[in-house]
Structure 1
Amino acid sequence: MIDQTFIDAVRATFPLFDGELTRDMTAAEVPGWDSFGHVQLMFELEDRYGVKIDPQMALTCRNVGEFVDLVRK
């Protein structure tokens, strides 16, 4: 399950995205989610959740679900 905080972070980082966010989605399916956007999302998630995300681990995430799981760790 993807919580609303994560969804809000994605929408704030990628304002052109207006679809439903699923765990199986990849960056290629979200407009603007490139390597720079990935880093921006990581910082947005750190701010919203009050956590520190290991950048190397964030770069290994292959889909939204893996990113959600990383944030929950």
Structure 2
Amino acid sequence: MKDSAVAHIKTYTGLDDESLDKYPDITQALFVLIADMFDNRNYQLDKAGGVNRMVMTILNSHSVNLL
């Protein structure tokens, strides 16, 4: 699950391995993604399709591939 979570973070943010190491809060997003994958087997928090806001906030703040 760690490899999947890291791949998701890299794809979402556009950051590479070296860049990810510069942001300590990415680790928190990684842990939450892994826990969410394990506990819920999905990325949504509720039936309305809401996603984990803390993860999205961290990933959005480091995303370099926005259009």
- So what's the TM-score if we normalise by structure 2? 0.34
Higher relative contact order (CA 8 A, sep 6+): 2
Higher Rg: 2
- So what's the TM-score if we normalise by structure 1? 0.32
